[in-house]
Amino acid sequence: MNINPSAIPPLAPELVEQFRKIVGEKHAITDAADIEAYVTEERNLFHGRSPLVLRPGSTAEVSEICKLATAHRVALVPQGGNTGLVGGQTPHNGEVVVSLRRLDRIREVDTASNTMTCEAGVVLQIAQQKAAEFDRLFPLSLGAEGSCTIGGNLSTNAGGTAALAYGVAREMALGLEVVLADGRILNVLSKLKKDNTGYNLHNLFIGAEGTLGIITAATLKLFPKPRAIETAFVGLKSPEAALRLLAIAQSEAANALTSFELLSELAVDFSIRHGIDVRDPLQDKHAWYVLIELSAAGEDARAPLEAILTRAMEDEIVDDAVIAANLSQRAGFWKLRDEMSSAQKPEGGSIKHDISVPVAAVPAFIAEANAAVVKLIPGARPVPFGHLGDGNLHYNVSQPVGADSADFLARWHEMNAVVFAIVLRMGGSISAEHGIGVLKRDELPEVKDKTAIELMRAIKAMLDPLGIMNPGKVL
């Protein structure tokens, strides 16, 4: 019989003591004040509760935790950097939190095979820096890279700003080490690019949000470190113009095009107004902006970037542009982009959507969605921005000026229905890179193929028959 996540019984003191013996006295947290950081998340959208946070220091300890949890039907919530945006890492009903932050070793960097084996608690930025020490690139890049972890990135199949060139987290992992619900350790930490020995098991756990097992380590792909990086900030009139610019950039730069971010005027305005030390790179305001970056294996990325912008200006696609003159200016461009989510907070309630549609459909989606949400809530302010190069938009909607935030946020699912209807009609996805968690769990059966949902439930039942792994999430 599976655990009902809304009816989880209190944890007996003797069971707490058994868990404590596995991880050690100081790594079993029971004080409510100390637990608070593990049950809240950065947007304050979810607030959970937990009687116990366990901080294992090895895969063996994770295994022992799972064995004990299975024996006593104790529900577990795996957690990395606690930066998730859909409530997947939150213990909503009194589950035990298993924090992977102490599993923070980089076990190996193999430059011959261009791989790096990291434990789940390694912070993404640390992984990037370690790769750079070996003159390699680990290209996964997110706004939360200073605090999110490799295990969390893989569990949510994170995307980021370089997905256009390198793909999402799933495409950067060659193998995993995973602890199953019953404590068995699945070791498929392969460095091989070619391995046709049956089912590709490690992919089951990427994007599963901890509902099938706990990722404890991963073998990641590394890439040659670019010798030249050039970044431009561009002003233009419309998403249609941005799409034309993307076509030119792909034609002129091919594989050197690593990022192509579409930013609405309101998103840029919020970032400049509310961000810390954020400036407008262009002299005049524009209806839309693009942040474009080229990375070259050779010594020159500037010439192709200049060629792209020259051609776009001659074709009257681009109204203005500036190329970063140095690393500081490049960092300023990206800071403006990275501040966009947090800069919406001072504007009140924000209903957020992480969607994807075919790249060619992005302009039509924005036009339809903008009209639909304003019709639903007059005065609502759409704040679309995101990864135009792969069709992934963060379609956020800020409350009307002066409106009551609670009243606005109470219409979250109502607005979801309006936006998701347009997404699905255009052949898109309601979750591009943030996952399902609890935020989109109830919508998933309505948008996912029925047979796919049945298979997902069957896999869950096989790997986690008691339902102790992150119950109530995804399914």
Per residue, what are the HEC states of 29-65? ECCHHHHHHHHECCCCCCECCCCCEECCCCHHHHHHH
Residues with Cβ within 8 Å of 417's Cβ and at least 6 positions away in sequence, in order, are: none
Tokens of 186: 């699945």
The pLDDT, as a whole number, for residue 298 is 75
Buried residues in 376-392 as b, exposed as e (16+ CB within 10 A): ebeebbbbbbbbbbbbb
Q: What CATH number belongs to 228-426?
A: 3.30.70.2190
Q: Within 10 Å of residue 14's Cβ, how many Cβ atoms?
A: 7
Name the CA dihedral angle for 43, 44, 48, 51, rounded to a multiple of 10 degrees: 90
Instruction: Say what the pLDDT of residue 1 is.
Output: 38
Classify each residue of 180-198 as buried b or exposed e, where b means 16 or more C-beta atoms within 10 Å of its C-beta: bbbbeebebbbbeeeeeee
Topology of domain 13-99, per CATH?
Answer: 3.30.43
Contact 131, 87 (CB under 8 A): no
CA distance 109 to 116: 4
The pairing of beta strand 96-99 with beta strand 53-54: parallel
What pLDDT, on the 0 to 100 scale, is given for residue 5? 63
Q: Which two tokens stand for residue 267?
A: 């998103």
Q: What pLDDT is attached to residue 148?
A: 95
The alpha helices in 190-343, defined as continuous H runs, are: 202-205, 239-253, 265-274, 302-314, 327-338
**Domain boundaries along the sequence of the chain:** 13-99, 106-224, 228-426
Task: Specify the pLDDT at position 8.
Answer: 77
pLDDT tens profile 151-168: 999 999 999 889 999 999
pLDDT given for residue 7 in this prediction? 66
How many other C-beta atoms can be found within 10 angstroms of the C-beta atom of residue 335? 15
Token duo for residue 97: 């939190």
Q: What are phi and psi of 373, to 5 degrees?
A: -75, -30
Round to whole Å and give the CA distance between 31 and 53. Answer: 9
How many whole angstroms separate alpha carbon 461 and alpha carbon 436?
Answer: 18
What letter would DSSP give residue 279? -
pLDDT value of position 4 = 64
Q: How many Cβ atoms sit within 10 Å of the Cβ of residue 457?
A: 12
Q: Which class in CATH covers the domain with range 106-224?
A: alpha beta
CB of 45 within 8 A of CB of 37?
A: no
Looking at the DSSP assignment, which residues form a beta bridge with residue 263? 289, 385
Contact 378, 411 (CB under 8 A): no
- Residue ranges of the chain with per-residue pLDDT less than 70: 1-7
pTM of the model: 0.92
Bridge partners (DSSP) of residue 119 are: 217
Please name the residues in contact with 289: beta carbons below 8 A apart, sequence gap of 6 or more. Answer: 233, 234, 235, 236, 262, 263, 264, 265, 268, 282
Instruction: In whole angstroms, give the CA distance from residue 154 to residue 168.
Output: 9
Ordered strands of the 53-54 beta sheet: 28-29, 53-54, 96-99, 76-79
